[in-house]
């Protein structure tokens, strides 16, 4: 498909070439008229058209020699762009670096750059926020769908193992026991258990008598029922005392034992080995895999549903925070000043840091264009104006020829 630039170039080539043929036609006509009816004015017109043809041909040669060999002839010092392609690339890269990517030119532009205002004004429009949301969610959805489930699950499995293995369960258990003691939870637990102990003792009278008979048959024969009854009454009374007295020595003993146990958890090599063995046995890839699989599928399903639903909480959260960001950028000059300062500083440093890379990019790009690609690209960009040089050369050449002819007639006539 022919581009607009190609059409314009072809049009202006036709104009310049047409003007040359017009000069040639006028010259031929004037030569014929001189043989038929000689007149003074014919010489002037003939001189103009003759010089115009020379000017047209000279400028056609000069313009064509830039981009290719005129008429395909390998005339020296023609097809300049193709022959000097590497030098052009290097010089163009150096020119851009030294004249555009320098501190003097970059700093004024960077200092006037107000990215915060541009972003804030853009985000104020509902349509723009909707576009941002759609594009962001579309990208996130594509990323999620492109992820390999096995790879994600493997990653989550590994990270879960690392996280769970790094937890100090001894410290957590010890801290949990201390927390229970400090908040009197152990006494509440005792209060909950004691009534059940009393019920169990009362329900186990026959079992108690049987145990007395097994261990002390003679005593059981003489006063087994009485002893077992008094024993049960004594146990119940003792348990009720514990139940009714918050400062009972048994409670204190239990509390002291729990406190000692909590301290022992932290310093005991035996418990350290037990916890290590427990972590090794329980926290393994095989044990975690089913949970990780279900977790990833649940997260994936939840994210996709929220990304697709028009009134999802995720979309509402995104829109509210984008609006809030826009308001903060517009209404907080100090925030805008700081952000612009960061952006300007970063941009200024990055541009200066990569000046040489930009030079190399331009040089390599131009140098690596194949065949006459560079000539063609440049001709499309400036060829239209160069055709006007041909037109001007035709006219200026004709005028110069006319002046020379006139001066010649003036001094020799």
Q: What is the pLDDT of residues 282-291, one digit of tens each?
A: 888 888 898 9
* Domain definitions of the chain by residue range: 4-68+372-412, 110-146+287-369, 166-282
Q: Could you give the CA distance from residue 383 to residue 389 in angstroms, rounded to a whole number?
A: 10
How much is the pLDDT for 103? 79
pTM: 0.52
How much is the pLDDT for 294? 92
How much is the pLDDT for 70? 73
Low-confidence ranges of the chain (pLDDT < 50): 218-224
Q: Could you give the CA distance from residue 171 to residue 168 in angstroms, rounded to a whole number?
A: 5
How much is the pLDDT for 82? 66
How much is the pLDDT for 212? 53
How much is the pLDDT for 298? 92
Q: What is the pLDDT of residues 324-356, one digit of tens each?
A: 888 888 888 888 888 888 888 888 888 788 888
């Amino acid at each position: 498909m022919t581009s607009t630039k190609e059409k314009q170039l072809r049009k202006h080539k036709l104009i310049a070439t047409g003007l040359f043929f017009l000069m040639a036609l006028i010259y031929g006509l004037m030569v014929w008229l001189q043989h038929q009816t000689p007149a003074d004015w014919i010489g002037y017109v003939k001189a103009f058209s003759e010089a115009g043809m020379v000017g047209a041909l000279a400028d056609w040669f000069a313009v064509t020699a830039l981009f290719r060999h005129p008429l395909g002839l390998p005339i020296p010092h023609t097809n300049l762009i193709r022959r000097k392609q590497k030098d052009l690339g290097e010089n163009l890269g150096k020119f851009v670096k030294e004249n555009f990517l320098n501190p003097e030119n970059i700093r004024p532009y960077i200092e006037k750059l107000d990215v915060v205002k541009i972003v804030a004004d853009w985000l104020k429009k509902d349509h723009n926020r909707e576009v941002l949301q759609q594009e962001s969610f579309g990208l996130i959805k594509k990323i999620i769908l492109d992820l390999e489930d096995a790879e994600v699950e493997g990653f989550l499995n590994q990270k879960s193992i690392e996280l769970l293995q790094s937890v100090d369960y001894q410290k957590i258990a010890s801290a949990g026991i201390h927390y229970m003691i400090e908040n009197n939870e152990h006494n509440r637990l005792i209060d909950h258990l004691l009534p059940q102990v009393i019920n169990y003792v009362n329900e186990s009278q026959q079992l108690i008598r049987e145990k007395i008979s097994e261990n002390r048959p003679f005593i059981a024969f003489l006063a087994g029922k009485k002893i077992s009854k008094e024993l049960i009454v004594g146990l119940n009374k003792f348990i009720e005392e514990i139940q009714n007295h918050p400062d009972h020595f048994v409670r204190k003993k239990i509390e002291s034992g729990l406190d000692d146990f909590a301290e022992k958890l932290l310093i005991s090599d035996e418990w350290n080995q037990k916890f290590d063995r427990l972590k090794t046995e329980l926290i393994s890839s095989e044990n975690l895999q089913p949970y990780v699989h279900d977790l990833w599928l649940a997260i994936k399903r939840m994210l996709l549903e929220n990304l697709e639903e028009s009134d999802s909480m995720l979309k509402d959260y995104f829109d509210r925070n984008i609006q809030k960001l826009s308001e903060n950028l517009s209404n907080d000059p100090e925030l805008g000043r700081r952000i612009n300062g960061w952006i300007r500083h970063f941009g200024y440093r990055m541009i200066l840091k990569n000046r040489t890379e930009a030079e190399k990019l331009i040089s390599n790009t131009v140098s690596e264009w194949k065949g006459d690609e560079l000539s063609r690209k440049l001709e499309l960009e400036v060829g239209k104006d160069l055709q006007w040089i041909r037109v001007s050369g035709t006219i200026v050449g004709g005028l110069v020829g006319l002046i020379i002819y006139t001066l010649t007639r003036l001094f020799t006539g």
